[in-house]
Amino acid sequence: MKNIKRLVSSIALLSLAGQIQAQAADHEITYNGDAGRIINENCVVCHREGGIGPMQFETYDQVRPWAPLIQLKVANREMPPYAYDHGIGIQDLQGDWRLQQEEIDTLVAWVNQGAPLGDPDSPLPQADLGDPDAWNFEDELGQPDVVIPSVPIDIPANGNDLWSTHYVPHGISSDRCIKAIQVKPRGDAKTVVHHANSNIDVYNDQGELERYGMLTEYAMGKWGELVPEDVCRTFPSNSMVRWSIHMYPGGIGAVAPGTIIEDNVVEIGLWLHPEGYETDVGYTQDLKQYNIQFAREEREI
Ligand code: HEC
């Protein structure tokens, strides 16, 4: 009996999927209609002038040559980049970047229909994404309390990978709790900074720097981190920030303007709780365990 019920519900699901596909294919799907809207809402944030995507999808003329590859990438769930299983585990996620199945079906059907523009007299409203260099938490939290820039580095647009490890001061004069953190390559640096890790090293009694733990990590496309309410992620004042930045001049960097991309700077934006916050909360948090090197050394001691 159970099996029959299962069979009936599978048939119902199958016919529902069939209907969606049929609906998607029944009417003409156009760029000026649903296809462009889906691209504007889900892709342009990275695929735009100054964004991290290697090509721009801001207009029909920019999108059209890529239509077959767009179809492949969305059908395989490789774009937008969001490596999370869709058939297993918790699916109701906050800040979920994945496309809905219906949106995937719409884009796939649009390309199958020849990726048409649609009515040229009713153009799609431009995606309004604001300044690509704005801080991601600006709307909720305003400007960061502290910005910690790396030392500027010139990078050839084409060439071998480069790494830079260096210390910078941070100007924080008392122990504080981090509320939110974002790492942001400034301007054209977005096109060459592959990833950037930052650590905190504290001064010991002899005035030498010792590892404390990781501050945060960044890789292309990362949004930022909000520390949960009632948690203090510690930032000791008696310390320096140690950057470890990997620059990737080939690939995406190769389409950046000029042969030398000058003054590449990566910034850490920190939003801090008021002084004394840690005495009011139950939990503290640091990222000691994130720092594999650090954890390994500790084990060896
Ligand atoms: C979070 C940023 C981000 C978003 C959002 C995003 N992309 Fe991308 N996309 C990238 C980056 C970075 C690359 C280059 C690296 C790569 O190919 O993985 C890329 C590459 C591509 C490529 C070229 C792949 C290749 O093999 O050359 C296509 C096509 C593409 N994206 C389509 C899309 C579409 C369609 C969407 C929206 C449904 C989208 N992307 C959303 C960042 C993004």
**Number of neighbours of residue 23 by Cβ within 10 angstroms:** 13
The β-bridge partners of 203 are: 209
Task: State in Å: Cα 75 to ligand 1 middle.
Answer: 13
> pLDDT averaged over the chain?
84
Give me the phi and psi of 110, to 5 degrees please: -60, -45
Select the highest-mean-pLDDT range: 11-15, 113-117, 243-247.
Answer: 113-117
Residue 255 clears pLDDT 90, i.e. is over it = no
53 lines ligand 1 (CB under 6 A): yes
Residue 256 clears pLDDT 80, i.e. is over it = no
pLDDT for res 113? 96
What is the arithmetic mean of pLDDT over 94-109? 94
> Which residue would you say has higher pLDDT here, 3 or 73?
73
Cis peptide before 80 (omega within 30 of 0): yes
What is the arithmetic mean of pLDDT over 237-264? 79
What is the arithmetic mean of pLDDT over 205-223? 90
Q: How confident is the model at residue 48 (pLDDT cuts 50, 70, 90)?
A: confident
Predicted confidence (pLDDT) per residue in 274-289, tens digit:
998 877 677 888 877 6
Strands in 169-238 per DSSP E: 176-185, 193-203, 209-219, 225-226, 231-235
253 lines ligand 1 (CB under 6 A): no
Q: From residue 80, how far is each of 96, 243, 279 by CA, in Å?
A: 10, 29, 41
Q: Which helix (H) or strand (E) holds 270?
A: strand 266-272
pLDDT for res 83? 87
Residue 60 clears pLDDT 70, i.e. is over it = yes
69 lines ligand 1 (CB under 6 A): yes
> Which residue would you say has higher pLDDT here, 99 or 126?
99
What is the arithmetic mean of pLDDT over 54-78? 96
Please give the Cα distance from 85 to 98 (Å, whole number). 10
Residue 84 clears pLDDT 60, i.e. is over it = yes
> Which residue would you say has higher pLDDT here, 279 or 207?
207
Residue 294 clears pLDDT 70, i.e. is over it = no
Task: State in Å: Cα 52 to ligand 1 middle.
Answer: 9
What is the arithmetic mean of pLDDT over 65-94? 94
Name residues whose C-beta falls within 8 Å of residue 143's C-beta, 6 or more positions apart in sequence: 135
**Number of neighbours of residue 17 by Cβ within 10 angstroms:** 12
The C-alpha angle with vertex 283 and arms to 279 and 288, in degrees rounded to 5, equals: 115
Q: How many residues does the chain have?
A: 301
Residue 80 CA: nearest ligand 1 atom is 41
Q: Which domains, and CATH codes, for the chain?
A: 2-82+99-112 (no CATH), 138-300 (2.60.120.230)
Please give the Cα distance from 161 to 156 (Å, whole number). 10
Task: State in Å: Cα 70 to ligand 1 middle.
Answer: 8
236 lines ligand 1 (CB under 6 A): no
Please give the Cα distance from 59 to 22 (Å, whole number). 28
Q: How confident is the model at residue 260 (pLDDT cuts 50, 70, 90)?
A: confident
Predicted confidence (pLDDT) per residue in 30-41, tens digit:
999 999 999 999
> Which residue would you say has higher pLDDT here, 171 or 4?
171
Q: What percent of the chain has pLDDT over 90?
A: 55
